[in-house]
Each structure stands twice: as C-alpha cells, then as structure tokens.
C-alpha cells in the first residue's frame, strides 16, 4: 500500500510539472570542439536536441521536457524560412494546453534577430525563452548546460508570462527587444547597455525587476500563420567615402526594404542620401538605423527611422511591417511602438 501511495504521489507530481518544449536550431550550445580548451575553432550545430536534454538531467526535476529539432546550424545560416517555421511551430505548441512554455536553443551570433522576430509573431502570453552559449558543449566550463537549465526554469515560471520573448545566458534575463550581442567571444556578451536586464536567476530562482515598455507577442499587428515567404530586406552600412552603388545593388536585387546603418544619429553621406531617395522613388522602403550600437535615431523628414532598434533588428521589423502595409506612417508607427 505504501509503495502504491508513493507511486501515485510521484505520478501526481509529474503531472503537476509544467510542460516545456525545447526547439533546437543548433549553435555553439550544440557545438563540439577538438579539446576542452578549444573555444573558437569548434563546430557549431553538431549535437542533437536529445543529447542537449540528456546532458542536463536536473531539468526533469522542474519540468516535463520534450524536444524537437528544427534545424542544426550555426546561427549565420538561419534563414527567413527557418524563422517562419519556428514561429509557426511555437504558435501551434502554445495554442494547446499540453505546452506551458517554449525554449529555443540557438547560436548566439544572430540570436537577437530570431528572439526579436519571435517577440513580434508569437501569439501567446506563455513564456518563450531563447538561449545559447558561448562555449561549445565539449569545453571545460561549458556554459550551455546551466544556460539551458535556466531557460527551462524561466519557461516553467508563471512570473515569465506576458513579458515578451526572453533571452537568457549567464544567469541574466534579457528582453528580446533590448538585448544584443556585445562581445565576439566572452561568456558575458549579451547586454542591453541602455535599458538593462529584466532580471536575473539566483540559486535556481528567477528575480524580475523591470519590464519592456514596447508592445510584443499578441499586442502586435503581425500574423504569420498564412505567410510562406518574408519580403527581402537588406542592410547597408555607412562609412567614410561610401558610394551609392551599395544601395543601388540592393534595389536591383529586389530589396523591398532597406535598412541603412547610418553613422551617429543616423547621419548619411550625400551619396547615400541620393541613392536612398532614388530607392524610395523606385518603391523600396528605407529605414535609417545607426551603426553606433546604442541610442535612439531621432525622427527625420526624409526617411523613416528605427527608434532604438539596431540595424539587424530593424530589418526584422521591416520584413514583418511589409507583410501588412507599405504606408510609411504606419511602418514608422510600428518602429515607435515595437
Ligand atoms: N556562440 C555561438 O553560438 C556562435 C556560433 N557561431 C553561432 O552563432 O552559431
């Protein structure tokens, strides 16, 4: 009888655990190097989602975990098609009562782009946490396993609900809207220098302190459920002596939108201004962002501006904006709100 009770209690406990789906896309968190000290010449996207889950058995104590392999690539190989597949799958999973939260494992190089995309297209207040690592799984002091555990912890937590898509590495909780990769190699690379983190994880407990003020998830105008292809949006960079052919090439190659990473507060050379004006004439939407890395690009008469979105996130928003409108005022209002 005692055994029976114990088993029933265990079963009840398991039922009570939140269900977290881990969707794996590759990256260094699934990377393998040749030695424990190889932290730069390893191969990203090698380990399967099953191996990632097996490496952290402690996760089973806080959640019922399931795994799905969406892709297994280094994050520079993440395409619009993968973004759409991932966004749709997350919406499908979160629409059921069987999934309480989602963790996406991802390479860190373009992680903020995927996180911001999901922040704009996930239609649920359930937690979605994007996680990566800076050291491959084979490294001495690999950071992936604890980052993954923390991501599952956040995805299982009631407190994480309604905060938009979260990014967690290095015991920090970041908002997809604000966080960016700031260092090529160090573990402490994801930062939001102006807005800061939403919180941190201490001794297995999430502590939240702030929230993003920008609209996200079910508050946005975007619905990808019927979308099979995103519009082509490219980025050109500002530098001294730049020539307009960079812009012309993007237009000739079919860019429906173009982000210009301006210098300073979005300043542009005369060559870029001329190129951009002609691009607008030929139907390409131009948004000016900044190469500086932080700060808001102030509104201007001639072109739309990206608010405080860096060029790579400004691109994500313009792709989605172009799925609903070509009206500059409406697109600008998305930059002001999201
Ligand atoms: N730390 C990382 O994950 C970097 C890797 N190259 C990637 O983005 O896939």
Chain centroid to CA 128: 10
- Ligand 1 in contact with 107 (CB < 6 A)? yes
pLDDT at 10 over 80: no
Q: Is the pLDDT of residue 11 over 50?
A: no
Kindly report, residue by residue over 52-92, the tens digit of the pLDDT. 999 999 999 999 999 999 999 999 999 999 999 999 999 99
Indicate if ligand 1 lies below 6 Å from the C-beta of 100.
no
Mean pLDDT, the chain, rounded, equals 96
168: left (phi over 0), alpha (psi -120 to 50) or beta: beta
For residue 12, what pLDDT is reported?
46
Q: Detail the residues annotated as belonging to a binding site.
A: 75, 108-109
Known catalytic residue: 108?
Answer: yes
Complex ipTM tops 0.90? yes
Q: What is the pTM of this model?
A: 0.95
User: Measured between alpha carbons, how far is 61 from 45 in angstroms, rounded to an integer?
Assistant: 26
- Counting residues of the chain whose pLDDT is more than 70, the rounded percentage is 96
What domains can be seen in the chain, in order of their start residue? 17-219 (3.40.50.1170), 233-337 (3.40.50.40)
Q: Which residues contact 7 (CB under 8 A, 6 or more apart)?
A: none
CA torsion angle 284 116 101 51 (round to 10): 100
Compute the CA torsion angle 198, 202, 206, 211 (nearest 10 deg). Answer: -10
> Ligand 1 atom 7: the closest Cα is on which residue?
107
Does 9 score more than 90 pLDDT? Answer: no
The secondary structure of 153-216 as a DSSP string is: HHHT-GGGTTS--EEEETTEEEETTT-EE--SS-SS-EE-TTT--SEEEETTEEEE-----S--
pLDDT, average across residues 103-118: 99
Q: How many residues does the chain have?
A: 338
Q: Which two tokens stand for residue 325?
A: 């409108």
Q: Is the CB of 157 under 6 A from ligand 1?
A: no
Ligand 1 within 6 A of 33 CB? Answer: no
Query: Tell me: the pLDDT tens digits for 162-203?
Result: 999 999 999 999 999 999 999 999 999 999 999 999 999 999
* Structure-derived torsion over alpha carbons of residues 128, 134, 139, 144, reported in degrees to the nearest 10: -10
pLDDT at 5 over 50: no
Binding site for substrate, by residue number, is: 75, 108-109
| pLDDT tens per residue, range 290-326 | 999 999 999 999 999 999 999 999 999 999 999 999 9
Q: Is 213 a catalytic residue?
A: no
Set 25, 39, 105, 108: catalytic member: 108
Decide: 136 in ligand 1 pocket, CB within 6 A: no
Atom from ligand 1 closest to the CA of residue 76: 8
Give the atom of ligand 1 at the shortest distance from the alpha carbon of 44.
9
CA of 130 to the centre of ligand 1 (A): 13
């Amino acid at each position: 009888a005692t055994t029976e009770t114990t088993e029933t209690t265990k079963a009840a406990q398991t039922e009570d655990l939140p269900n977290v789906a881990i969707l794996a896309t590759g990256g260094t968190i699934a990377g393998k190097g040749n030695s424990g000290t190889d932290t730069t010449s390893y191969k990203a996207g090698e380990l399967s989602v099953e191996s990632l889950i097996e490496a952290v058995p402690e996760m089973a104590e806080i959640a019922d975990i399931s795994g799905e392999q969406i892709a297994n690539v280094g994050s520079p190989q993440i395409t619009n098609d993968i973004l759409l597949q991932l966004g749709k799958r997350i919406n499908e999973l979160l629409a059921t009562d069987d999934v309480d939260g989602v963790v996406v494992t991802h390479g860190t190089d373009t992680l903020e782009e995927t996180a911001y995309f999901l922040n704009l297209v996930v239609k649920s207040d359930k937690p979605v946490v994007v996680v990566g690592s800076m050291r491959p799984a084979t490294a001495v002091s690999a950071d992936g396993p604890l980052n993954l555990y923390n991501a599952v912890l956040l995805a299982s937590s009631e407190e994480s609900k309604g905060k938009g898509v979260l990014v967690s590495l290095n015991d920090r909780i970041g908002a997809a809207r604000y966080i960016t990769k700031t260092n090529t190699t160090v573990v402490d690379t994801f930062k939001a220098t102006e807005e800061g983190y939403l919180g941190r994880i201490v001794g297995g407990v999430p502590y939240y302190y702030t929230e993003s003020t920008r609209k996200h998830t079910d508050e946005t105008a975007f619905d990808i459920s019927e979308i099979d292809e995103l519009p082509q949006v490219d980025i050109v960079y500002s530098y001294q002596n730049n020539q307009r052919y960079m812009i012309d090439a993007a237009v000739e190659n079919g860019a429906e939108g173009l982000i210009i990473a301006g210098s300073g507060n979005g300043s542009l050379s005369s060559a870029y201004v001329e190129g951009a004006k002609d691009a607008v004439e030929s139907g390409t939407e131009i948004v000016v962002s900044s190469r500086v890395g932080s700060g808001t690009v102030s509104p201007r008469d001639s072109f739309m501006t990206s608010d405080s979105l860096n060029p790579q996130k400004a691109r994500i928003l313009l792709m989605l904006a172009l799925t609903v409108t070509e009206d500059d005022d409406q697109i600008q209002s998305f930059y002001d709100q999201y």
